Amino acid sequence: MKNRVRQLREAMGMTQEQLGELVGTSRQAINAIETEKNEPSIWLAYDISRVFHEPIEDVFLFEESERKSRADVSRGYACGTKRD
């Protein structure tokens, strides 16, 4: 999922380690989120958005994600079409 974590973190003059400490995770986890190698849990995403005083949907850009939601996958949707 695309996100603005790096942009917002750097605007606040904060390191990945500092952000990790504020939200209870590691610098490596913050790096993985920023580089889109990992998606945060909803609780971690919420905590990150609160640090930046931004709505969660302004930090994590769900509409820009190319990954299909787990709900769509479980319903048999792939690339916008339903498998029979």
CATH of the domain at 24: 1.10.260.40
Residue 78 in this model has a pLDDT that exceeds 60: no
Query: 21, 57, 58: which is closest to 29 by C-alpha?
Result: 21
pTM of the model: 0.74
Q: Report the pLDDT value the prediction gives residue 64, as an integer from 0 to 100.
A: 47
Number of domains in the chain: 1
The pLDDT of residue 84: 53
| Percent share of the chain, pLDDT over 90 | 71
pLDDT at 17 over 80: yes
**Can you tell me the distance from the alpha carbon of 56 to that of 6, in angstroms, rounded to the nearest whole number?**
14
pLDDT by residue (tens digit) across 35-62? 999 999 999 999 999 999 999 999 999 7
Give the residue numbers spanning the domain of 51: 2-82
* Helices of type H across 1-84: 5-11, 16-23, 27-34, 42-51, 56-59, 70-74
